[in-house]
Amino acid sequence: KDRPPWRLALARVGNPFSRGIAPRVCVIAMATAMFCSGNVPNASARRPSNGIERKSTSSSSSRLRVFSVTAKANRQGGQGQTARNRTAVRPSAISVPLPGTAGGGVIVTTEHNSGNGPIPSLRELRNAIPKECFVPDVQESLKYFAVDFSALLFCFGVLSPLVVDNPLLLPIYAPITGTVMWMNFVIGHDCGHGSFSGNKLLNAVIGHVTHAPLLVPFWPWAYSHKQHHRFHQHETKDMSHPWMTAETYQGTNPVVRWLALDHWWGAFLGFPGYLLLEQKWASTDGSHFWPASRLFDKAPKDERLKCAVSTLACAGFLGLTFAVTDSVGAWSMQYLAPYLCFSWWLFAVTYLQHHDEDTETYSETEWEYVLGGLQTIDRTFGFGVDRITHHITDCHVAHHMFTDMPHYNLEKATEGVVGVLEPRGLYKKRDTKDFVAKTFQLQRDVGHCIDRDRPRATVEEIKKSLGLTGFLEEK
């Protein structure tokens, strides 16, 4: 205890030349930086008991400082309010291990968990998962593809003509076919992550075969989806279902707000709009169908060519649907109605995975991969939905941390992840058998804005955006 803090830090690191220079140099640099700033963690300090204040204490003998990081999720009138305003920088979750802990990290307490332990490192989480979970079985993957794609062919080839002759079957046909379309999306989702097989060509072929009938351009979607995983819950870099500040929300075109963000029908129209719209005023990541899209400004050069291929695949299937239907009315019943149900499924599942009243987002200085990933929610839908949709609903935390696992291994992987996170109060799992009502309720009350009272589009804003104000005044 008489040694200075920098000697203690070096003792923790050991000989930098014993097992590789680079990792040790990084830790030495971190220890030095924390010593100079006085921010070396101290496990002996107690966490605040109220869960809403951020405190630090110092020790005169060792000049060590501890940060107890807390989140605010104040509830007023029975409604939750997301924690947004923070006054200090959150320490990295993957940091110098705390003395006496196996995983390392920082202590986190919130209103919704007891903060029993530090946030684990990514390595600790991965080590808790059986290694075989990361190995795709091509035969197993192809089996699931064959079953789901055959079901889709049955819906389009056998059931859809019956709907034309018996329109009263539409309320049954559309949800069933939309669900089967969603099942095929999950198969293509594995292909996009490379977890369907170890063969890139096979992944690309199956990805296009499963996604083209859904009008989802496979390669552009895979690119933006990887950015979503890479920067999950980052306030400015997350893609797909990002949170917006009130200012950004207000700056979104009012017609887009009215169609996709403000009201319940946004659950049906939001995803196709996200894929299609290029303009920044739409608050999308750029068009997934246009090779010159700003989506690919920082992407590898071949992504633009791949976008053209995926777009042609979608256009080819869309043209086929018009060719095999007798009229616009028949096309609307046979394809458009189930497509909108599929679009709802995609919105509902992905939205509920990453949104709730207590969900947090992080700024550039606060964000860290594991910290953002812990905001993911495993939701049990019940009624067999979790199984037929390949556990993308109730095993999503493990998937969000490690995308290189095929869906049929997620249950086993989740057991390992839960074993690490649950004792520390860091695992989010919620029974959501009311997932239909929950989707519309959260879309109404929370939406995509970090402020409770989001600036919804007004009639005057919509008129002005469409250039109708002056026209109507003249009339």
| Residue 107 pLDDT exceeds 70 | no
Quick one: average pLDDT of 186-206? 97
- Give pLDDT, residue 475: 55
Residue with tokens 């559309």: 174
What is the sign of the dihedral through the CA atoms of 87, 93, 97 and 98? positive
Measured distance between the N- and C-terminal CA atoms of the chain, rounded to whole angstroms: 86
Both structure tokens of 415? 């057991």
- Angstrom distance (rounded) from CA 23 to CA 260: 46
Distances (CA, A) of 183 to 40, 274, 316, 390, 459: 48, 20, 21, 7, 38
- Angstrom distance (rounded) from CA 82 to CA 230: 22
Max distance between CA atoms of the chain, in angstroms, equals: 88
**pLDDT tens, 17-74?**
344 444 444 444 444 444 344 443 333 332 333 332 323 323 332 222 222 233 333 3
Weakest mean pLDDT among 81-90, 194-203, 302-311, 430-439:
81-90
| Residue 99 pLDDT exceeds 70 | no
Secondary structure of residue 234 in the 3-state scheme: strand
Quick one: average pLDDT of 355-375? 90
- Give pLDDT, residue 136: 97
* The one-letter amino acid at 430: R
**pLDDT tens, 220-270?**
999 999 999 999 888 888 887 778 888 989 999 999 999 999 999 999 999
Residue with tokens 């894929």: 275
| Residue 1 pLDDT exceeds 70 | no
What is the sign of the dihedral through the CA atoms of 338, 341, 347 and 353? negative
| Cβ atoms 428, 376 nearer than 8 A | yes
| Cβ atoms 442, 352 nearer than 8 A | yes
Both structure tokens of 22? 């680079």
- Give pLDDT, residue 287: 97
Extract the runs of DSSP E, i.e. beta strands, from 102-235: 107-109
**pLDDT tens, 288-312?**
999 999 999 999 999 999 999 999 9
Residue 77 C-beta-side C-alpha neighbours within 13 Å:
2
Distances (CA, A) of 151 to 148, 156, 178, 210, 366: 5, 9, 11, 12, 45
Give the closest residue to 41 by CA, choosing from 81, 1, 101: 101
3-state helix, strand, coil in the chain (%, to 5): 55, 5, 40
pLDDT band at 448 (very low <50, low <70, confident <90, very high): confident
Q: Backbone phi, then psi, for 48, in 5-degree steps?
A: -65, 140
Quick one: average pLDDT of 342-354? 95
Using a pLDDT cut of 70, give the percent of the chain over it. 74
| Cβ atoms 396, 374 nearer than 8 A | no
- Angstrom distance (rounded) from CA 99 to CA 43: 6
* The one-letter amino acid at 237: K
DSSP letter string, 414-441? HHHHHHHHGGGT---EEE-TTHHHHHHH
Contacts of 132 (CB under 8 A, 6+ apart): 409
What CA dihedral angle connects 270, 274, 277 and 278, to 10 degrees?
A: 150
Quick one: average pLDDT of 431-450? 92
Give the closest residue to 177 by CA, choosing from 153, 201, 147, 195: 153
| Cβ atoms 122, 103 nearer than 8 A | no
| Cβ atoms 279, 177 nearer than 8 A | no
- Angstrom distance (rounded) from CA 264 to CA 252: 18
Residue with tokens 């989506």: 295
Angle between helices 218-230 and 170-193 (to 10 degrees): 70
Give the closest residue to 326 by CA, choosing from 317, 335, 315: 335
- Angstrom distance (rounded) from CA 361 to CA 242: 9
